[in-house]
Structure 1
Amino acid sequence: MKSIFIALFLLAPVLLAAQIKSGPMLGYADMKEVLIWVQTQQAASVHIQYHEIGDKKIYKTDPVRTEKATAYIARIIADEVTMGKKYAYEVWVNNKKMSFDYPLEFQTQELWQYRKDPPAFSFIFGTCNYVNEEGTDRPGRPYGGADEVYAAMHAQKPDFMLWGGDNFYYREPDYTRTGMIHRNDHTRGAKSLQPLLANVHHYAIWDDHDYGPNDSDRSFPLKHTSLEMFKMYWGNPNFIFPNEGITGKFQWADVEFFMMDDRWFRAPNEIADPQKAYWGEKQMTWLLDALSGSKASFKVIVNGGQVVSPAKLFENMANYEGERNHLLKELKNRNIPGVLFLTGDRHISDLNKLTREGTYPLYDLTVSPMTAGKADAVKQDYNETLVEGTLVTERAFSKIEVSGPVKDRVLKITIHNIKGDVIWTKALKSSELK
C-alpha cells in the first residue's frame, strides 16, 4: 500500500498538468495588463497567480470557467501589474496548481516616453507552420516537420513572437466549426511548442490556410467562424473592425505594428480587373490614416503576402495593381517615414528593396516556412527589388532586434535556420527611412 501511495504522489504533477490541453500561452503585454491564455481538457475553473520577480507579494486573478462552447479556453487578464517588470506566474485549475517542467514568466512594457530613449527589444517572426496529423494529411511524404525550430526560437529569448499567417493549415475535414476547433486544438497542442507559448508574448495575423482553403478570399462561407476561432485562440489586443476580419495594431517600445488582413475583403485572384480589392477600401483608408498619425521610429506593416516585389506571382500584391499603386503613391505623397513590411506565404525567405525616386526605399522581409514544406524560388523572384544574397529556400525564422537612441534607432534582421544557425543579417537605420 505504501508503494502505491508513493507512486501516486510522484505521478501527481503529471496528472495535474494533464488537466491542461494546451498552453499557457502569453498574449499581448501592455504597461498595465497582460493576457494569459489557457485551454483545459474539460470544463474547469482556471486562475493565475503571479508575483514580480524579486518580490514575494502574490497576486491572484479572478477565476474563469472554461466551457465546451468555447473549446474550454480561458482568456485571463493579469491586471495588478506595473510598467517594465517581469513576473513569474502559476496556472491553477480547480484550485490545484499545475506543474510544468519549464518556468512560466511574463513581462510588462516599460514607460519610457518623455523620460529616456526607448528600450531595446527583440522579437521572432515566422510563418507557415504545418503540424502533421495522420489521417487528415495527404498521402505520401509528410508535409510538415522540423518542430525543433520552436526550441531554436525560444533559445533566442525574444520579448515576443509575431506569427505572420498560415500559422496552421486547415484540411478538407475541417470546414465546420467542430473541424476548425479540432485543427486549432491539434496545432496549438504540439508538445514541443509549449515552452515557447508559455514564456514569450504572441501576436498574430492570418493568411489563406488559417482563414480557409488555399487561396481563399472574401467569398469563403465560413469566414465568420474563422474569425471566431482567431479571436478564441489568439491574444491580440484589438480588432479595428470588430466583425470584419483581424485587422489591428499594437506598439512595442517605439515601434508600431499594423496587422493587416489580406483575406476578408479580398476579391478572387481570378478576376481580371487591376482595380480589384486586396485589402479593400475600408482597410486601406484605416492603414494610411493610422500610418499618417504614427510617430513610431519604425512602422511595420505585417501582411500575409508579399507587397514590395513587383513579381505577379502566386498571391503577391502585385497581382492587385490598383491597390498596390495607390499604397505606394500615398506613402510618398503623405511623406510617411519609417515604413517596412513583414510578409510570408511564399515558402521561401528573402528581402526585397524598392527604390523610390525622391524618397527612401521600401523594404519587405519575407520569412517562410517554419515547419511547412519548402519551395523553390522562380525566375520572377530574381527581379530588381531582390536584395542580393538574401534568398533562402530552407525552413527558417527571423529574429529582429531594435536598439539605439531614439533619433537613430537600428533594426537588425537575422535569418536563422531551424537549428538556430545564422544564415544572413542586415541592419536598417531609422534615419535611412526618411
Structure 2
Amino acid sequence: MYPKANEKINKPKLTLKLTLMKKIITIIILLAMYNADAQITIPGDSLVYGPMFSPVYQNKVRVWVLTKDNTGSASNLTLSMTSNANTKKQLEGTIYNSDDRHLVYTGFETGDLDSETITREEDYNLRSYEFNIASGETYTAKLLENGKETGRIAVIQAEQDIINDFTFLAGGCGRIFDLSRCIDQWESKRITNGDPAMYDELMAKQDSDLMVWLGDAVYLLGEEHAHGGCPESFKSDWDNEEQAFKRYLWYRKYYDKLLQAMPQLAITDNHDTGSNEFDKTLPGLPATRKIFKDWWPNPEYKNTVEGEGLFSSYRYKDVEFFLTDNRSYRNNIKDQFGDEQLEWLEQALLNSTATFKIIVNGTPSFRELGGRIWGSSKRAPHLLQFIRENKINGVLSYSADLHQQRFMLREKDTDYPLIDVVSGNLNSDAPETDKRYANYKIDYSSEFDLLRGSLHAFLRTSVYGKAGNRRMLIEFVNGRDEVFFSKIIHQNTLTSSNSEAKELELNFRNKLIDESPKKHTIKAVHLKYGKDSAEKLNYAGKFSSTTSLRVVQDETLDFHNKSFTVTFKLKPKAFKNDAILLSNAKDSSGITFGISDEGKLNYKINDKMYFYQSDFSLSVEQWSEITWKYNNLRLQLQLFYNGNLIQTWEDVHSSEPSNEDITIGQNYEGLIESITIYSKFIN
C-alpha cells in the first residue's frame, strides 16, 4: 500500500529502528563468537571418547577427552565447560596432562594374522583439562564439533564435602578378546567371556555419583597368552607405551557411555599394567604406568622414595577410598606393597575421619586364600594388628581379581567383622546363559563366605542416613539388572570398642539414669524402686500393672537393618500374658522383646509377624541376665541366659523401621536392674 499525498512519512524513525536492529544483531553475533572463542579448542578433527570427569578434589575437577587427527574431516573441536548456575559463562581450564600418539598397526593386529605388513596408521590426541569449581554447584562438560553439540556430555555435582545420601558403582575384571589380533586367538578358544554391553546399557544408566574400578578394566596380553601364535617380531601389550595405548584405546569403546555418565576412580591389578604374575622389575612397567595415569584421571598418584606409584586416597562425603598399588613395589606374591606404601596406608587409615574407610585392593585384603592374594601376604598380619591396636573403625575392603562375586567375613581374631567385598566378573570367564546367572551360593552359616559365585555382575553401594547413624547398602547386580545378593552394614557394626556402639544404658539408682553417651530422655509414670541383685536399696525399678516407662524416640534406637545386643537384668515377680520388656512396635513396624505367661522369652518382628520364643522358662523371684543378640550380616538371632547361649535362630530378617517411643515394662510385674542396648553384635 502506498501512502496518501498528504500522509506524513517518518523516514528518520524507520532508519533509526533499522540501525538499532543491526546493532542488536551485531552484538548477538559478537556474543556468540565470544562464547565460542571462550570454549577450549581441542586438537584433532574427530571426536573419539569423552568427556569423562575425574572426581572433584580441592575445589577442582578434570575433564578427559580423546580425539583423532588427520581424518580428512577438517572439523574444529571444542570443549565447553559451564556451571549450571551460569550457562553463558565458559570456565577457563588448563592442560593437566597430554599425550599425542602416532600409532602404526601391522597385519597381525588388524586381522591379517600372518602378516607383518603395516596396514594402517592413526594419530590421536589425549587431553586432560583442570578447572577450578565452587562447592555445591553443578557443572556440565560438552564436546562440540564446528560449534554444534555432538551429544557427548557429562555432568558433575561438586558435593564432595556435603554429607548426604549417595551411590557409587564398583567392579573389576572386564576381559574382552580382540579377535583381529593374533595375541588373543589362543585364549579366546578356551575362555568364554560375557557381553560387555552391560557397561553402557546398564551401568551407565544407574543413578550413581561415582564408578570405582577394582582393577583389570583393561587386559594387556603378551606371549604367555599367545602361546606361539604370533610372529617373532610381535610385541606384548606391556612392551612399550604405544602398545599399551592401543589396548586402552580399543577397550574404551565398550564403556564410553559409562565414562560420560559419572566420575571415575581406578586402581590397577596385574592386567592393567603387565603380565599375569609380574613385579616391579618388569621392563615395560614405567611405560604402562604412564598410560594408566593418562587414561584414568584419579585426583592424585603418590610416589615413594623407591619410585613412582599408583596409590592414593580419595574422600567423597564420609567415605574414603584408599586406592592401593600392588605392582609398583612388588617383589613377589608375599611382598606386594613395599614398606613405604604400607606405612602410608596405615597412617592414612589412622588419620581418616571418614565413617567408612574402603581399602580398594587388587586382591582381597583380609581373607587368607593363599597364592597372590594380599590377605595371605607377609604384610597382611601387620595391617590387621595395626587396625586392631589403634582401634580404627569403619574399615572394609573392595577388590576383584578372582573372577568371582564374593562377600567374605573375618571375625575370630578381630574387634569387628573385617569384610572383603569382591566383584571380579564384569566380563571375564562367564558366558551369558541362564545357568550362569544362577551360578552362585549364599551360605550364612559359612565361616568366611556368605556369597560365592561366578557370574557377570557389578556392585552398587548406597550410603545413607543422618550423621552418626549411617548405613551402607551393598548390592550385587547381575547383567539383567537383578539384585541377587545384598547386605546392609550399619556404621556401628564396624566399631572397635563396644562402648562406641552403646545406644542406651538404663539404670535405676533412686532415679532413672541413661548412662550411655546418648543421654536419652526418659519418661516414667508410677515407677517405684526396690533392691537390686546386690541388695542395694532403690537400685532397681519396680514395675506393676500401672507402671509406664518410655524412652523418647531417637533414630539411633531403631532396630531396623542393623545388628544389636540387648541385655536385661531382671527379677520377675509373676508372669502375665503378653508382658513386654521393651518394644518400639506399631502396626506393621518395629520389634518387641517379651515374656510369655509361662516365663518363656520371646522376640517378635512386627512387620512380618515373625515370632521367636525360647524353649527355656525363667523362674519367678530369681535374678536373671537375659541377652538377645542379632547379627545382621549372618541373619542370626541368639539368646543368652546368665552369659550362656541357650538358643539360636537362623534366617532371621530385620524389622521395618519404627518411629515410636520405646516402651519398657508394659504388663510386666517385677524388678528390672538395668537395660543396655548396643547397635552391634557383641561377641
Whichever residue aligns with residue 36 of structure 1, its letter is V
Q: What letter matches 2:168 in structure 1?
A: F
Calculate the aligned-residue CA RMSD, in Å. 2.9
Q: What residue ranges of structure 1 are gaps of 5+ in the alignment?
A: 1-15, 113-117, 270-275
- Paired with 1:158 and 1:406, the residues of 2 have a C-alpha distance of 20
Aligned to 1:84: 136
Contact kept, 8 Å, 1:132 with 1:142, in 2: the verdict is no
Q: 1:383 to 1:288 in 2, by over 3 A?
A: farther
Partner-residue secondary structure (3-state), 1:221? coil
Aligned counterparts of 1:176 and 1:98: Cα–Cα separation in 2: 36
Q: Among 357, 364, 370, which residue is 1:306 paired with?
A: 364
- 1:129-167 deviations in whole A, cap 9, x for unaligned? 123211231332664431121121122211010001011
Match of 1:248 in 2: 312
Deviations 1:326-382 (A, max 9, x none): 11111101111110000100000111111144611100100011012239999xx99
Bigger strand share: 2
Mapped pair 1:398 → 2:459: yes
2:472 to 372, 395, 411: 411
Q: What letter matches 1:147 in structure 2?
A: P
The answer (yes or no) to whether the contact 2:165–2:464 under 8 Å persists in 1 is yes
1:162-188, Cα deviation, whole Å (9 max, x unpaired): 001011101123122221110111111
TM-aligned CA deviation for residue 45 of structure 1 = 7.9
- Check 1:278–1:384 CA distance in 2 against 1; reply closer, same or farther (3 A cut): farther
Is residue 2:66 matched to residue 1:39?
Answer: yes
Task: Determine the structure 1 residue equivalent to 2:84.
Answer: 53
Q: Report the equivalent of 1:153.
A: 203
Question: Kindly tell me: are residues 429 and 120 of structure 1, through their superposed partners in 2, closer, same or farther at Cα, counting changes over 3 Å?
Answer: same
8 Å Cα contact 1:49-1:61 kept in structure 2: no
Specify the structure having the higher radius of gyration (Cα). 2
Q: Which amino acid aligns with 2:273?
A: Y
Q: Separation in 1 of the partners of 2:285 and 2:58?
A: 33
Match of 1:99 in 2: 150
Aligned to 1:328: 384
Counting aligned pairs with the same residue, the percent is: 25
Change (3 A) 1:343 1:111: closer
- Mapped to 1, the partners of 2:204 and 2:283 lie a distance apart of 37
SS in 2 for 1:78: strand
Following TM superposition, by how much is the alpha carbon of 1:85 offset from its aligned partner in structure 2, in angstroms?
2.4
How far, CA to CA, are the matches of 1:187 and 1:289 in structure 2? 36
Give the secondary structure class of the aligned counterpart of 1:241.
Answer: strand
| Structure-2 change in CA distance of 1:98 and 1:224 (3 Å) | farther
> In structure 2, do the counterparts of structure 1 residues 85 and 347 end up closer, same or farther at CA, with 3 Å as the change threshold?
same
The 1-side partners of 2:444 and 2:463 are apart by: 29
Query: Residues 77, 362 of structure 1: CA spacing in aligned structure 2 closer, same or farther, 3 A cutoff?
Result: same
Residues 300, 62 of structure 1: alpha-carbon distance in 2 compared, 3 angstrom cutoff: closer
Whether contact under 8 Å (2:64, 2:297) holds in the other structure is yes
The question of whether the paired residues in 2 share the 8 Å contact of 1:348 and 1:366 is answered with yes
Three-state SS of the structure 2 residue aligned to 1:209 is coil
Q: Which 10-residue stretch deviates more, 22-31 or 302-311?
A: 22-31
How has the CA–CA distance of structure 1 residues 431 and 133 changed in structure 2, closer, same or farther, with 3 Å as cutoff? same
Q: Deviations over 1:196-219 (max 9, x none)?
A: 111200000000011100122222
Secondary structure of the structure 1 residue equivalent to 2:250: helix
CA distance 1:145–1:384, change in 2 (3 Å): closer
Question: d(CA) in 1 for partners of 2:325 and 2:360?
Answer: 9
Q: What residue ranges of structure 2 are gaps of 5+ in the alignment?
A: 1-42, 103-122, 223-235, 496-683
Q: Which residue of 2 aligns with 1:291?
A: 349
* Structure 2 residue identity aligned to 1:290: A
State the secondary structure of the residue aligned to 2:329.
coil
Secondary structure at 2:69 match in 1? coil
SS at match of 1:213: coil
**Is the CA contact 1:45–1:63 (under 8 Å) kept in the aligned structure 2?**
no
Q: Which residue of 2 aligns with 1:137?
A: 184
- Cα distance in 1, alignment partners of residues 58 and 78 from structure 2: 21
Contact 2:160 2:315 survives alignment (8 Å): no
User: Residue in 1 aligned with 2:372?
Assistant: 315
Q: Is 2:124 aligned against 1:68? A: no
Q: In 1, distance between residues paired with 2:358 and 2:76?
A: 38
Cα deviation, 1:211-263, whole Å, max 9, x if unaligned, reads 10012222211111111111110110011217522001101001111000111
2:651 corresponds to which residue? none
Question: 2:154 & 2:265 partners in 1: Cα distance?
Answer: 18
Aligned equivalents of 1:145, 1:52: Cα separation in 2: 39
Deviations 1:290-349 (A, max 9, x none): 11111110010000011221221x4212442x2111111111011111100001000001
Question: Using the alignment, how far apart are the partners of 1:97 and 1:78 within structure 2?
Answer: 22
1:204 matched to 2:266? The reply is: yes
Residue type of the partner of 1:415?
Answer: F
CA 1:58–1:132 in 2, change beyond 3 Å: closer, same or farther? farther
Give the distance between the partners of 1:427 and 1:90, measured in 2 at CA: 37
8 Å CA contact 1:31–1:111 kept in 2: the answer is no
**Residues of 2 paired with 1:187 and 1:286: CA distance?**
32
Query: Which structure's residues are more often helix, by fraction?
Result: 1
Which residue of structure 1 lines up, in the alignment, with residue 323 of structure 2? 259
Q: Is the 8 A contact 1:212 1:223 kept in 2?
A: yes
Indicate the SS of the match to 1:184: helix
Give the Cα–Cα distance (whole angstroms) in 2 for the partners of residues 383 and 287 of structure 1.
32
Q: Which of 234, 250, 259 is residue 186 of structure 1 equivalent to?
A: 250
**Which residue number corresponds to residue 166 of structure 1?**
216
Equivalent residue in structure 1 for 2:403, among 338, 344, 347 = 347
Residues 22 and 38 in structure 1, CA contact (< 8 A), matched pair in contact too: yes
Question: C-alpha distance in 2, partners of 1:180/1:200?
Answer: 24
Cα contact 1:247–1:260 (8 A) shared by 2:
yes
Structure-2 separation of matches of 1:278 and 1:86: 40
Q: Structure 2 vs 1, CA of residues 90 and 369 (structure 1 numbering), >3 Å: closer, same or farther?
A: same
- Aligned-partner SS, 2:345: helix
Could you tell me which residue of structure 2 aligns to residue 368 of structure 1? 424
Per the TM alignment, residue 59 of structure 1 is displaced from its structure 2 partner at its CA by 1.7
Count of aligned pairs between the two proteins: 399
Equivalent position of 1:10 in the other structure = none
Give the match's secondary structure for 1:180: helix
Distance 1:248 1:46 in 2: 33
Q: 2: distance between equivalents of 1:382 and 1:304? A: 25
Structure-2 separation of matches of 1:131 and 1:107: 32
